[in-house]
Amino acid sequence: MALKSTVYKVAVQVADMDRAHYRDHALTLALHPSETEERLMVRVLAHALNAPGDEHATPLLPARGLSDTDEPDLWQHDRSGTLLQWIEVGQPDERRLARACSRSERVVVYAYAASTPIWWKGVAGKLTRLQNLAVWQLEAQASRELAGLAQRAMQLQVTVQDGVVWVGDGQRSVELHPLALHGTAR
């Protein structure tokens, strides 16, 4: 018998002073049986950092990144179906990222494991020509602390100022300093 995904409901209040983005987002996410809560929380963070600021824009939506190689973790299409944003969490291979860059206007990767420097050293030379790619490294300790905020029903506040990100649940807070490995647009 196959294991089922676990559903997480997340209410996220975003105050991103770097992008002048101040909105509330209600997310329903499925934690795949092979996925960790750390990865789930990095997906929540990626959503908060990339959600469209325009209330009339199409939303950033979860995709089937873990179970479908043709889809990212999050994506945004415009009303005509054009792929605007492709967002990956983890350490995708260079072929996947090159394919994503040819399909989407903007591709963003959030790498969070302690092995990120090793992964990046292996793929950096192959990805530097991709102009619409941004790769961010999250400190491994900070992403593990982020996983500590995970609950089946969450109310989170995400604040961004001068490139520093704070994620809190009203009782605990995690400070993150994303490091740009390639590209600069969040």
Instruction: Considering only CA atoms, give the Rg of the chain.
Output: 16
Position 10 scores a pLDDT of 97
- Secondary structure of residue 102 in the 3-state scheme: helix
Q: Rounded CA gap, 42 and 93, in Å?
A: 18
Position 23 scores a pLDDT of 95
Q: What is the pTM of this model?
A: 0.94
**Is-contact 140 116, C-beta < 8 A?**
yes
Position 57 scores a pLDDT of 86
Q: Which of 171, 182, 177 is nearest to 143 (CA)?
A: 177
For CA atoms 179, 58, 154, 72, the dihedral sign is negative
Q: In what order do the strands lie in the sheet with 83-89?
A: 61-62, 74-77, 83-89, 106-111, 133-137, 179-182
Question: Which domains, from first to last, does the chain contain?
Answer: 36-153+174-182 (3.10.640.10)
Torsions phi, psi of 147, nearest 5? -60, -30
Q: Kindly write down the DSSP assignment for every residue of 4-43, as one continuous string.
A: PPEEEEEEEEEEETTTTEEEEEEEEEEE-TT--HHHHHHH
Q: Going residue by residue through the chain, which has 186 residues, state the pLDDT in tens, using 9 for 90 and above.
A: 567 889 999 999 999 999 999 999 999 999 988 899 999 999 999 999 999 987 778 999 988 665 566 799 999 999 999 999 999 999 999 999 999 999 999 999 999 999 999 999 999 999 989 999 999 999 999 999 999 999 999 999 999 999 999 999 999 999 999 999 999 665
